Amino acid sequence: MRARGLVKTFGRGRAAHRVLDGATLDVRAGELVAIVGRSGSGKSTLLHLLGGLDRADAGTIEVAGERVDGRTERDLARLRARRVGFVFQFFHLVPELSGAENVALAARLPDAAPGARGRGLQLLERLGLQDAAGRMPHELSGGEQQRIALARALVNDPAVLLADEPTGNLDLAAARTVLDLLREVAEGGRAVVLVTHEDAATSAASRVLELRDGLLAG
Amino acid sequence: MRAALREAVALVRMGGRRSLLAGAGIALAATMLGTAITVSWSLATGFDRSADAADLPHVIARFDRQRLDDVSARLRALPNVEALSYRTEITRVRIAAGTGSTGRGVIEVLGPGRRGYAIVEGRDVHRGSDGVVLERGVAREWGVHVGDRISFGRFGADRVVGIAVGPDNVAYPLASTARVYVAGSDEGLRRFGVNTALLWTHDPARVDVTLQQARATTFGIANLRFVTREGVQVLLDEAAGIVLALLVAFSVVVLGAAGVMLGVAAHSEVQRRLETLGIQRALGFPRATIVAAHALRGSLVALPAAVLGLAVGALLAAGPTADLLVTLNELPPGAALLGPLALASVLTVALVAAASTWPALRATARQPVALLRGAELPGGVRRARVAISGPLRLGARLAWTRRARYAGTVAVLAVCVAVVALLLALASLLVTLRDDPATLGKRYDTVVALAPSAVPAVERIPGVLAAAPRMEVNGADSYALGEPVRLIAFPGDHTRFEDPPLASGRRLAGPDEAEVGAGLADALGLRVGGTLAAQLPSGGEARFRVVGIVRALETSGRVAYVRPDRLLAAGAPEATQVAVRSAPGADRAAVDRGLRALGAQPVAVGGATSSDASLLATLAALLRVLAGVTALVCLYSLVQGLALIALERRQTIAVLRAGGAATRTIALLLAGIVLAAAVPAAAIGLALQSALLAPLVGRMAAGYAELLPRAGIGQAALIVAGLLVLCAVAAALVAYRTVRAPIVAGLRRA
């Protein structure tokens, strides 16, 4: 993953606030990069731009050799389906679907990767979620929910995994498990970018970058 | 209360677009309501309003021309008579004016006194002054205005000084005769004689007594016929009464539907805010304040929306309804309509306030923590039984989990489907009533003006299955002379020619028996075993024992089927027409040629209503307005419900989009949500129409007959297809709006 000179401003006129001001980032396959910074520094915004959830005002982004910036919404959707996986702080599982169905959801999208369904079942087993698979989200612990979310993010075999405060809503033990899994994912050959403000999370990372004044510093 | 009001105003302001959306929904339902009220009120009160405005006499007596003094002396002696005036009716006059002319013109030469018509333009005619008053129907049809010239064949020409509405008949051209009123003098009427008398009574409820006395004292006045106000109304009903009754009944159903929609819309507004209610409760807001604020908020949004919607509905329906009233020679309600519309706006606001209060009351009764946890999902989420295999099914599953809203959406859509189905069925029924004699129970297709002796010759025509002389005598009940009775007589078994379904009793078997229509039985309190005594125009009386009640549609069911013997004995003239029943598959043109060869002009038998094209076009316009409003309400319900679900499900949609779902997938998901409601709603709506609304409207319109405006298979298919199109439009609209919002907005914690 490569990002160059990312600029993002919120608001207009005197209320304008430039959150990113030329941020640059390189993440290689097999690397887990943690991005830290104070609240409101633009960490989540950076993650959204990297994953094509939002558009930068300036700068370029490349994921697995494909440009993210300048694409149509339809192309971006296809890119997200095949190349990018997301994990969120609040899990965002669909409350009406069981754990297994939440994982299978991403596999049923029109642009899902071939073999995604089978991979979903394997992921449930590999992440120790056999018991959780049949239960509804409100019946699961926070750690189980986040592992389900992780399985969902990986079901289409993405090249890049973007995690926004994945342990922010978990107890220590559950957070440890999730961080171990993220490291495993990175070691499996994916580029993982983790936004966090927790020390435990940074210690699991290959590199830690700080976002300050709209710029990333190592 | 002041705190609640402040909170309500704040709610409306904070709601912004949502308040506008809620207002739009209420306005749409109110539009339906306004349309229904305008149609039903205008039509239901049309005759009475016009009769009062025109000072229509309580009794109109028609007779062969008599000396004015002879008639006047006898009528003045009658009890209960308040006023009298006389006319000489000159028929078959060639009249020409503007762009039209007719050989069936009628000049009404008016004597002094009350008129019995209402001037709607220009002025009335007076003795000694020039000019004529023209009937409004003629003026409209021929484009004649006050000041235009009008010619009366051999009677010369004159100037139109006024336009009038005379509600004793439907308007030209629905009525075949064109009427012109001219002022006559006492001397003139004395010289030429009179043939019409108008009677106003002191006590209209006792008009019966006056008529009984009139029967006894008018001996010598030839061919005397009385028509009461009620009789006039029955005559008008013959022209379009069933159609009007159907429209009024339909409007009543629409009123109910609009009520359901208003209730559901208001309920869903409170459902949106359940979490906010939890926060307010947690902060210590009193329950009463919250509930009152919601009631007031509902009222604040509903009041302008209801007024606007009712006004729009009234304006939409006013044109076609006024045209219909003109056709019937009736006057529009004018400012009198404001009363029911104002009452409807009050009821609409009350309904919305109640529908907002109830869920707020229920919600605030729950623990605040339950509301904060997720509003409608207190104990977690039920597992749906359908497996997820794509966005459509996922959408369906999302719809099912919000059970209260799902049920509300299904209810609104089902009502819309039922109303549209009723509408289409009504349109078909109108055509059938117009064209199909079978709706009257008639099994013959042609009548010819031939003497009974010609029947064997008619039966010998190839293609004729059966023929019989048909007698039709318009009399009155001997005990209640204001009640008209149409006696229909065939020699032998009348069911071979007219076969209205038997409601009770049995078919008649002899000359002293009668089957009476349910309408007549209701009006006269007749039952099987009772006696029908009919006063005939000849002055004679015929009595029959009632052996059966039939569901006849003709003349509002005020008919009686008898054998001709007693009618002839009471002085009724012999049958002058022959009913001809063609064999199935017979060449009708060949049958007509055969009948013409006998020297008769065959007349095809029509249905129960007028075949007047303009009346039916007006009705079609009315039905189209109602259908359009209903479809708009349906689309609004779909879009509103879907937008609400999309709003609540913004996180799920955002996760799907983050995972690579494109616009098409989101549209399919939303389509799944609406289809989950639309498919059962279509089934429920069609069942509702067939099992409940059709019989209900049929009974309200014509309880005396079997009338079922039930949607056919083709119409049902059309409705389902239309609903699917609306679902697709709603899904596309909401999907377009949803994907325009940034994904990250949906990922923020609500």
DSSP-based three-state secondary structure for B311: helix
Pairing state between β B81-97 and B194-201 = antiparallel
Rounded to whole angstroms, the Cα distance separating A22 from A7 reads 5
Q: What is the ipTM of this complex?
A: 0.84
**What type of residue sits at position B389?**
S
Q: How far is A25 from chain B (nearest CA, A)?
A: 21
What would the two tokens of residue B94 be?
A: 């060639």
Q: Of A22-26, A85-89, B483-487, where does mean pLDDT reach its minimum? A: B483-487
CA distances from B30 to B270, B302, B347, B626 (A): 20, 10, 11, 12
Over residues A87-98, mean pLDDT: 84
pLDDT of residue B520: 84
The larger pLDDT score, comparing residue B540 to residue B5, is at B540
* Angle of the B17-44 helix axis to the B613-648 helix axis, nearest 10: 160
Other residues' Cβ atoms within 10 Å of the Cβ of residue B223: 12
DSSP secondary structure letters along B526-537 = --TT-EEEEE-T
Beta bridge partners of A63: A66
**What type of residue sits at position A159?**
A
DSSP B442: B
pLDDT of residue B704: 55
The larger pLDDT score, comparing residue B80 to residue B219, is at B80
Mean pLDDT score across all residues of chain B:
81
Is B383 close to A136, i.e. CB distance below 8 A? yes
Residue range B42-59, pLDDT digits in tens: 888 888 888 998 999 998
Report domain extents, chain B.
1-49+233-380, 50-232, 395-436+615-750, 440-604
A82 touches chain B (CB under 8 A): yes
A105 touches chain B (CB under 8 A): yes
Closest CA to B704 of B559, B590, B530, B495: B559
Residue range B121-162, pLDDT digits in tens: 999 988 767 889 999 989 988 999 999 999 988 778 889 999
pLDDT at B750 over 60: no
Over residues B711-723, mean pLDDT: 87
Task: Name which of A74, A81, A94 is nearest B652 (Cβ-Cβ).
Answer: A94
Residue range B635-684, pLDDT digits in tens: 777 787 787 778 778 888 888 888 888 888 899 999 999 999 899 999 99
Is A95 close to B377, i.e. CB distance below 8 A? yes
CATH architecture of A2-217: 3-Layer(aba) Sandwich (3.40)
Q: How far is A37 from chain B (nearest CA, A)?
A: 19
In the block, residue with structure tokens 């999730």: A178
Residue range B434-485, pLDDT digits in tens: 666 666 677 888 888 888 888 999 999 999 999 999 998 888 887 766 677 8
Report domain extents, chain A.
2-217
What percent of chain B shows pLDDT beyond 70? 82
Residue B501 backbone zone (phi > 0: left; psi -120 to 50: alpha; other: beta):
beta
Q: How far is A71 from chain B (nearest CA, A)?
A: 13
Beta bridge partners of A32: A192
* Angle of the B2-15 helix axis to the B287-327 helix axis, nearest 10: 70
In this prediction, residue B180 has a pLDDT band, given cuts at 50, 70 and 90, of very high
Pairing state between β B149-151 and B118-122 = unpaired
pLDDT of residue B375: 44
In the block, residue with structure tokens 């208003």: B262
CA B356 to chain centre: 33
pLDDT of residue A126: 82
Q: Of B7-11, B596-600, B670-674, where does mean pLDDT reach its minimum? A: B7-11
Residue range B312-361, pLDDT digits in tens: 989 988 888 888 788 778 888 888 899 999 998 998 888 888 877 887 78
Rounded to whole angstroms, the Cα distance separating A82 from A119 reads 14
What would the two tokens of residue A213 be?
A: 């004044």
Rounded to whole angstroms, the Cα distance separating B200 from B82 reads 5
DSSP B574: P
What would the two tokens of residue B78 be?
A: 């009658």
What residues in B contact A90, CB-CB < 8 Å? 749
pLDDT of residue B339: 92
pLDDT at B260 over 50: yes
Is A92 close to B654, i.e. CB distance below 8 A? yes
Beta bridge partners of A169: none
Rounded to whole angstroms, the Cα distance separating B375 from B647 reads 14
Closest CA to B711 of B686, B678, B679: B686
A53 touches chain B (CB under 8 A): yes
- B405 Cβ partners below 8 Å, 6+ apart? B268, B271, B376, B641, B644, B645
Over residues A155-167, mean pLDDT: 91
Over residues A49-55, mean pLDDT: 90
Rounded to whole angstroms, the Cα distance separating A76 from A67 reads 10
pLDDT of residue B377: 40
Yes or no: say if B425 and B623 are a contact pair by the CB < 8 Å rule.
no
pLDDT of residue B378: 40
Residue range B544-563, pLDDT digits in tens: 999 999 887 777 678 899 99
Q: Give the angle B396-A95-A100 at the CA atoms, nearest 5°.
A: 90
B744 touches chain A (CB under 8 A): yes
pLDDT at B611 over 50: no
B373 touches chain A (CB under 8 A): no
Handedness of CA A105, A108, A111, A117 (dihedral sign): positive
Closest CA to B705 of B429, B420, B428, B327: B429
Beta bridge partners of B133: B162, B181
Rounded to whole angstroms, the Cα distance separating B199 from A41 reads 95
What would the two tokens of residue B737 be?
A: 């709006």
Q: How far is A205 from chain B (nearest CA, A)?
A: 24
Closest CA to A51 of A163, A196, A206, A179: A163
Closest CA to B731 of B670, B677, B675, B648: B670
pLDDT at B237 over 70: no
CA distances from B26 to B264, B345, B356, B357 (A): 10, 11, 13, 16
Per mean pLDDT, which of A167-171, B196-200, B517-521 is the most reliable? Answer: B196-200
Is A73 close to B654, i.e. CB distance below 8 A? no
Size of interface A-B (CB pairs under 8 A): 99
Q: Provide the strand spans (E) within B663-712.
A: none
Instruction: Tell me the residues of chain A between 85 and 104 that have a Cβ less than 8 Å away from chain B.
Output: 86, 88, 90, 92, 94-98, 101, 104
Residue range B94-114, pLDDT digits in tens: 999 988 888 888 999 998 889
Yes or no: say if B574 and B451 are a contact pair by the CB < 8 Å rule.
yes
What percent of chain B shows pLDDT beyond 90? 18
pLDDT of residue A32: 94
Radius of gyration of chain B (CA): 32
What would the two tokens of residue B139 be?
A: 């003026």
B663 touches chain A (CB under 8 A): yes
CA distances from B188 to B73, B446, B691 (A): 18, 44, 63
Residue range B380-433, pLDDT digits in tens: 445 544 455 678 888 888 888 777 778 877 887 888 888 888 878 877 777 776
pLDDT of residue A36: 93
**What type of residue sits at position B164?**
A
In this prediction, residue A49 has a pLDDT band, given cuts at 50, 70 and 90, of very high
In this prediction, residue A187 has a pLDDT band, given cuts at 50, 70 and 90, of very high
pLDDT at B612 over 60: no
Q: How many residues does chain A have?
A: 218
B662 touches chain A (CB under 8 A): yes
What residues in A contact B663, CB-CB < 8 Å? 73-74, 77
What residues in A contact B736, CB-CB < 8 Å? none
A72 touches chain B (CB under 8 A): no
pLDDT of residue B436: 64
Q: If you measure CA to CA, which chain A residue comes closest to B400?
A: A96
Rounded to whole angstroms, the Cα distance separating B376 from B382 reads 12
Helix locations, B436-579, DSSP H: 455-459, 518-524, 565-569
Residue range B613-639, pLDDT digits in tens: 555 666 666 676 777 777 777 777 778
DSSP B498: B
What residues in A contact B380, CB-CB < 8 Å? 95, 136, 138-139
pLDDT at A213 over 70: yes
pLDDT of residue B610: 47
pLDDT at B165 over 50: yes
